[in-house]
Homo-oligomer: A and B are copies of this chain.
Amino acid sequence: MSDIQTYLDAHFAEALDDLKAFCRIPSVSTDPAFADGIADAADFVAERLKRAGFSAVELLVTGGHPAVFGEIVTDAALPTFLVYGHYDVQPSDPLEKWKTPPFEPDERDGRLYARGVSDDKGPLLIPILVAEAFMKTAGQLPVNLKVLIEGEEESGSPHFEATLQTYADRLACDLVISADGAMWRPDRPSITVASRGLVALEITIEGASKDLHSGRHGGSAPNPIGALASLLASLHGGDGRVSVDGFLDGTSPPDPTIIAAIEAADFDADAYYREIGSSKPDPIKSGRELLIRQWLEPTLEFNGISGGYQGKGTKTVIPSSASAKITCRLIAGQRPEHLIAVITRHLKARLPPGFTLDIHQHGPGSEAFFVDPKLPALEVAEAVLTELLGQKPLRVAMGATIPIGASFRKHLGKEAIFFSFSTSDEDYHAPNEFFRLANFRIGLTAWAMLLTRLGAAGA
């Protein structure tokens, strides 16, 4: 380990340059305007893998954006680990809220600011750099290592399951280690053992076939913004929970071990609302309730709404249509297709006469995921973090979605653990995303320790 650490320290400046170069590539996966950025980012990963000493590097055809594969085969007697990450990033709007441009990485106050630096370019680069360090020092890895870096995570990974199916033989492994999936808080080591699923949809209401003058037609023509507002308002109850019949079908009461972790966390709700800059909503009574809602309850959140005139000033128009983007976070037992069905039924039953309703699902969605709490690799990872950070990490759930756990289990028959060094306060779906450079360093050491111990322990 000391050779590795010496190598990593000596080459940290180069590692940082690599990360900046990666972040200069605008690899937004949801917007076709960024097709070049996606292609460039996939090429960047492939080239970086080759340079690190990976073989069989290839852009896997997926039906959408390519996934990048590479492997280092050390010894058939050693266990094989498959590292997961994603090279695509969130859209960067609202652009005007960025202090420095999203695709021009800027280092300040011990942080690197750029779209995608925390989610997931920084975290995924770490295991590649660590593999290179092993190759340059020991000439080999302590394990067999494969990597699979996809390009559609921020679009709901629409082709990921098919990709796992198609390439199941090449991806065969003993365990998946995800470099995606942030630590919970900057001040408390944690390891993520559960994540919520995701369903994304867009609903569009149409009234008249064209925009109408709101003076001439006001009071007689159907107004789709009004109908949309009523439909959206019907989706939650006064307690802030989803009020769609059938939404909780298939779910069970929360896992008591996670509830116990929540109670141990002694979470400060007031501090949370200070941190996000809002006053406290009515239904949230305590930090305990807040974390239960974030980690263990499903949601239906409005991500965007649009209709009619949105420029400066005023325009006296009744628009012909209005639409809203929605994502739901799923807990164990909820199936994406069932949620779409019950939401559709709810909205159709409430659609007033004079309007048409279109419901479009973005991507297939994904179910919630739980790591097997008895997995030996989970204990190895915990031991590494305990040693490195000075306290035993909390086993936490996360509100966000990492659908890959369920997908790997389904298609490769293997478990996955999350071993990431981003932190969930790093604004990774907001302006001014950043990655703590101290965690970039710690992550390099931690991955080197993890691979060493997993190799010593066997699969």
Interfacial residues, chain A to chain B (CB-CB below 8 A): 30-32, 90-91, 93-94, 97, 154-156, 196, 198, 200, 202, 206-223, 225-226, 228-230, 232-233, 236, 240, 272-273, 276-282, 284, 290-291, 293-294, 297-299, 301-320, 322, 324-325, 327, 329, 352-355, 362-363, 398-401, 424, 427-431
Judge whether A315 and B297 touch: CB under 8 Å.
no
Rounded to whole angstroms, the CA-CA distance of A273 and B355 in the bound complex is 11
Judge whether A399 and B317 touch: CB under 8 Å.
no
Judge whether A303 and B299 touch: CB under 8 Å.
no
Judge whether B399 and A219 touch: CB under 8 Å.
yes
Judge whether B302 and A212 touch: CB under 8 Å.
no
- What B residues does A277 contact at CB under 8 A? 208-210, 320
- What B residues does A220 contact at CB under 8 A? 272, 284, 290-291, 293-294, 399
Q: How many copies does the complex hold?
A: 2
Judge whether A294 and B91 touch: CB under 8 Å.
no
Residue of B156, B229, B301, B317 touching A218 (CB-CB under 8 A): B301
Give the distance to chain B from A151, nearest Cβ to Cβ, in Å. 14
Chosen A-B contacts, 20 in total, with CB atoms closer than 8 Å, are: A30-B311, A30-B314, A32-B312, A93-B311, A209-B276, A210-B277, A220-B291, A225-B232, A225-B302, A225-B304, A225-B324, A226-B236, A226-B302, A281-B354, A282-B354, A302-B307, A305-B306, A313-B362, A314-B362, A316-B400
Give the distance to chain B from A195, nearest Cβ to Cβ, in Å. 8
Give the distance to chain B from A312, nearest Cβ to Cβ, in Å. 5
Rounded to whole angstroms, the CA-CA distance of A73 and B456 in the bound complex is 104
Rounded to whole angstroms, the CA-CA distance of A273 and B225 in the bound complex is 18
Give the distance to chain B from A119, nearest Cβ to Cβ, in Å. 9
Judge whether A431 and B210 touch: CB under 8 Å.
yes
- What B residues does A429 contact at CB under 8 A? 211-215, 315-317
Rounded to whole angstroms, the CA-CA distance of A427 and B320 in the bound complex is 13
- What B residues does A399 contact at CB under 8 A? 215-220
Judge whether A427 and B210 touch: CB under 8 Å.
yes
Candidate in A156, A219, A309, A354 with the most chain B CB atoms within 10 angstroms: A219
Judge whether B309 and A208 touch: CB under 8 Å.
no
- What B residues does A398 contact at CB under 8 A? 215-216
- What B residues does A298 contact at CB under 8 A? 219
- CB-CB nearest 5 A-B residue pairs: A209-B277, A215-B400, A30-B313, A281-B354, A304-B308
Q: A214-B429, A424-B216 are in contact. Are A303 and B316 (CB under 8 A)?
A: yes
Judge whether B304 and A209 touch: CB under 8 Å.
no
Judge whether B305 and A314 touch: CB under 8 Å.
no
Residue of B207, B230, B278, B301 touching A355 (CB-CB under 8 A): B278
Judge whether A223 and B309 touch: CB under 8 Å.
no
Give the distance to chain B from A32, nearest Cβ to Cβ, in Å. 7
Q: A213-B429, A215-B198, A223-B302 are in contact. Are A208 and B155 (CB under 8 A)?
A: no
Rounded to whole angstroms, the CA-CA distance of A154 and B215 in the bound complex is 12
- What B residues does A32 contact at CB under 8 A? 312
Judge whether B400 and A212 touch: CB under 8 Å.
no
